[in-house]
Amino acid sequence: MVQINKDALNETGYCLLTGLLSPSECQSFVNGYDDDQRYRSTVAMARHGFGQGEYRYFSYPLPDRILDLRNSLYPALAEIANEWTARMGVAIRYPAVHQDYLKRCHQNGQERPTPLILRYGEGDYNCLHQDLYGEMVFPLQVAILLSRPETDFEGGEFILTEQRARMQSRAEVIPLKQGDAVVFPVNHQPKKGKRGDYRVTMRHGVSRIRSGQRHALGVIFHDAK
């Protein structure tokens, strides 16, 4: 099982898995970007007001490495997800194995795969958002930087914001190198306060790419309608 720094995740809203993918694994995902057969759909972000840039959803069957990432990351994340739902007074509990959770998604009409690859060029960016694709929401997700900061691109920082009810948002810039993964909340996270837990709303995005080209891989654990 993958080791997750739960304290960092609980305190700062994210944790890193450095060097989750090797440089050659990153490069092979980038090289596969134009291989149309791998993908079920392609989204031009500007067309939907999502930002600027493009992303593509992988189709089933997923590439082995992505299937493997979903299966290997899920169990540790499901433990944390179950602690969070318990703390937030939500009745949902997540099964220990990803295939069992996917069955639940598919039975509820969320059958389409959500892992995606993103490509940004100079001037592109990704607006703050949440990756919700229906009622079934697995509370944590993972993004992996495939490109080399400063070498392949400049700018393009991964941003996470935390919003507390009736309060202003707090932003965090996540330092990533090629192959590093960030684990972060999809939607809500419980936080420890002086008078017990409170709930924050999380959003993520990417700041403007100042030059070059940036690729990332998104691993989301619920499927889409």
The residue number with the shortest CB distance to ligand AKG is: 218
Could you say whether residue 54 binds Fe ion (CB under 5 A)? no
Nearest distance from C-beta of residue 159 to ligand AKG, angstroms: 9
- State the Cα–Cα distance between residues 52 and 210, nearest whole angstrom: 13
Report the distance separating Cα 130 and Cα 180, nearest Å: 21
Binding-site size, ligand AKG (CB under 6 A): 9
Interaction of residue 218 with ligand AKG, rule CB under 6 A:
yes
Near ligand AKG by CB under 6 A: residue from 216, 221, 223, 224: 216
Please name the residues in contact with 223: beta carbons below 8 A apart, sequence gap of 6 or more: 102, 105, 106, 110, 111, 112, 113, 114, 133, 136
Residues with Cβ within 8 Å of 184's Cβ and at least 6 positions away in sequence, in order, are 13, 14, 140, 141, 142, 143, 160, 174, 202, 204
Assign 131 to helix, strand or coil: coil
Residue 216 binds which one of Fe ion, ligand AKG, none, with CB within 5 to 8 A depending on kind?
Answer: ligand AKG
Please pick, from the candidates 56, 80, 126, 178, the single residue that binds ligand AKG as defined by CB under 6 A: 126
Which residues, including other chains, have CB under 8 Å from residue 78's CB and lie 6 or more apart? Answer: 94, 95, 96, 98, 101, 138
Question: Binding partner of residue 154 among Fe ion, ligand AKG, none, CB under 5 to 8 Å per kind?
Answer: none
Does 118 participate in binding ligand AKG (rule CB under 6 A)?
yes
**Of 73 and 93, CB closest to Fe ion:** 73
Q: Report if residue 206 touches ligand AKG, rule: CB under 6 A.
A: yes
Burial (CB < 10 A; 0-12, 13-18, 19+), residue 50, is middle
The single residue among 131, 154, 157, 172 that binds Fe ion, judged by CB under 5 A, is 131
Closest CB to ligand AKG among 156 and 190? 156
Positions that interact with ligand AKG (CB under 6 A): 118, 126, 131, 143, 158, 204, 206, 216, 218
